[in-house]
């Protein structure tokens, strides 16, 4: 399985740094071990571990000597993990080591599911409030309801104990089929439920609806093993509703599994066409081509991208753009043109090693430079803000190689992301410090949840998210409730500008729609005023 995902939050940063000489020593020995492993890889059965050889690798010898001879007691596992990370720091920014303790969580987005009881929650006033329940999941089957407050999990009291998100997640999640006892507080009475944990889906296609009589909208938040299947199900649903034009939203999609992006591209491109190819110093060129008639090979198509669209998202956008199949709208994408391959290690961890670069059909590699170190690489997105690229179209073009699209011979660029065909600037309207805290500290999300519970019956009169978007307007009561809740967190809303107040009102509607209709409701309401979506609709109308 090849991965094409943007590793934004690197788990490995949680480990403590060592003195300079020790990581370098381990790095040298580990590199020797890897070189041996690469030479032997083709001779090793696929069921074996990547580093499995008849002899100890050099790094293991060093570990054994430290464990047996070193003057003080040390945690050799920690030393080994730090040594691996020190070595990888000399490679590209996306090769990474995942320690065993974090591997299950790291793989959840790729698998498209996790094991647990199937609830969303907020911690309000040191109490866990259940805000949403996954339809058909273990908690719904057991009778858990929105608004329930968890006071006990098995024998652990969780109310009033300053519990944090990580601890409650450890208590609620567990292997499929395992049981957990939950005591909740409802209508001033405690109730106990025994819940059998199950598989909880993490949907990639979290919104798919008709914007108008002929225009469909699909949002993909990642590329997991279920993304292509979810996309096809959503696409078929929209076509049954009369869809002739499609907006595919890849904004914020950091990538994931390459094959799912390739399969979706195959639905847009007729045969025979190259979708991309991959190649590396130790990996022969591999071509990915269309294989079958696609479900949407004809009809106006727009793809939305932004600075957080990465890797597998860029594979899909690059193929559509190079073949002039559709229009890319938004801002320049992240710029990750590297492919990782996962290798399971004997210690239970995993090495995701960059093994090749990918190239679009026109021959573009869109990987942005990383030869100035990881700090510079990580700051590149912020530099786009400072240099004006996010708001000025004439500064949004990367200074990379120039290519031509394959049909219309339009100019496109490599070396730094996918440059959109239609640029939409970033909204530079900034909030005051107080309003920023309202969202950053989750005060606003807690307000929306409590408002929903207090007005649940009233909100039932809105039959759809579209109806809600057109007719709901927050009243003075909502503003008073928000001010009171904000003041408890020492946030003052007494001096809002008109623009800030309008933005907060808009977010009230968007967040409430999410609370009632999940992520699809969120996008139905948000897209009514989203400048990128509005530009996409305008672009489709011209085709």
C-alpha 267/C-alpha 325 separation (Å) is 11
C-alpha 108/C-alpha 113 separation (Å) is 6
Catalytic (active site) residue 399: no
Catalytic annotation, pick one of 333, 340, 350, 356 = 340
Q: Which DSSP helix (H) or strand (E) runs through 240?
A: helix 227-240
Cβ atoms within 10 Å of 252's Cβ, excluding its own: 17
At a CB cut-off of 8 Å and minimum separation 6, what does 116 contact?
138, 172, 173, 174, 197, 198, 200
- b/e per residue, 17-28, with b = 16+ CB within 10 A? ebeeebbebbbe
C-alpha 99/C-alpha 359 separation (Å) is 31
Catalytic (active site) residue 111: no
Catalytic (active site) residue 311: yes
Catalytic annotation, pick one of 95, 224, 311, 367 = 311
With beta carbons less than 8 A apart as the criterion, state whether 520 and 208 touch.
yes
Tell me whether strands 215-220 and 205-210 are parallel, antiparallel or unpaired.
antiparallel
According to DSSP H, which parts of 241-335 are helical?
Answer: 258-268, 312-322
With beta carbons less than 8 A apart as the criterion, state whether 332 and 383 touch.
no
268: its two tokens: 């847009």
Would you give the DSSP letter of residue 12? G
- Say if residue 272 is preceded by a cis peptide, omega within 30 of 0: yes
**Active-site annotation, residues:** 311, 336, 340
């Amino acid at each position: 399985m090849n991965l094409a995902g943007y590793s934004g939050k690197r788990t490995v940063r949680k480990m403590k740094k060592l003195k300079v000489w020790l990581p370098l020593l381990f790095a040298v020995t580990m590199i020797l071990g890897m070189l041996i492993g690469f030479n032997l890889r083709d001779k090793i059965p696929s069921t074996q571990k990547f580093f499995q050889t008849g002899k100890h690798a050099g790094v293991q010898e060093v570990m054994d000597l430290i464990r047996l001879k070193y003057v003080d007691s040390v945690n050799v596992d920690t030393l080994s993990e730090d040594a691996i990370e020190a070595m990888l720091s000399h490679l590209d920014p996306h090769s990474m080591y995942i320690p065993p303790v974090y591997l299950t969580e790291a793989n959840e987005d790729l698998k498209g599911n996790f094991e647990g009881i199937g609830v969303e929650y907020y911690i309000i006033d040191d109490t866990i409030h259940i805000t949403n329940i996954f339809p058909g999941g273990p908690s719904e089957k057991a009778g858990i309801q929105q608004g329930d407050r968890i006071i006990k999990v098995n024998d652990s009291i969780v109310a009033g104990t300053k519990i944090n998100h990580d601890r409650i997640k450890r208590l609620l999640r567990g292997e499929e089929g395992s049981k957990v006892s939950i005591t909740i507080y409802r209508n001033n009475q405690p109730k106990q439920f025994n819940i059998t944990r199950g598989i909880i889906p993490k949907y990639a296609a979290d919104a798919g609806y008709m914007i108008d009589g002929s225009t469909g909208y699909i949002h993909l938040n990642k590329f997991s093993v279920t993304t292509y299947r979810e996309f096809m199900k959503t696409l078929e649903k929209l076509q049954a509703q009369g869809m002739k034009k499609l907006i595919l939203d890849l904004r914020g999609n950091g990538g994931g599994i390459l094959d799912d992006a390739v399969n979706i591209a195959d639905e847009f491109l007729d045969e025979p066409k190259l979708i991309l190819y991959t190649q590396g110093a130790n990996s022969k060129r591999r071509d990915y081509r269309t294989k079958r008639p696609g479900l949407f090979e004809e009809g106006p198509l727009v793809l939305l991208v932004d600075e957080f669209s990465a890797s597998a998202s860029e594979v899909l956008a690059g193929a559509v753009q190079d073949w002039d199949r559709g229009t890319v709208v938004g801002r320049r994408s992240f710029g990750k043109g590297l492919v990782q391959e996962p290798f399971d290690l004997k210690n239970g961890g995993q090495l995701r090693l960059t093994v090749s670069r990918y190239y679009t059909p026109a021959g573009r590699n869109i990987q942005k430079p990383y030869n100035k170190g990881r700090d510079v690489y990580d700051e590149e997105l912020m530099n786009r803000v400072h240099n004006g690229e996010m708001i000025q179209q004439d500064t949004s073009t990367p200074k990379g190689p120039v290519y031509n699209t394959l049909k219309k011979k339009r100019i496109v660029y490599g070396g730094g992301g996918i440059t959109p065909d239609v640029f939409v600037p970033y909204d530079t309207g900034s909030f005051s410090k107080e309003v920023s805290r309202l969202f950053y500290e989750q005060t606003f999300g807690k307000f929306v949840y409590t408002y929903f519970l207090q007005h649940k019956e009233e909100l039932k009169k809105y039959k759809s998210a579209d109806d809600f978007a057109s007719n709901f307007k927050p009243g003075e009561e909502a503003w008073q409730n928000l001010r009171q809740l904000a003041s408890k967190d020492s946030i003052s809303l007494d001096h809002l500008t008109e623009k800030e107040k309008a933005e907060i009102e808009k977010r009230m509607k968007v967040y409430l729609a999410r609370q009632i209709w999940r992520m699809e409701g969120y996008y139905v309401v948000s897209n009514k005023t989203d400048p990128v979506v509005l530009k996409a609709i305008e672009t489709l109308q011209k085709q």
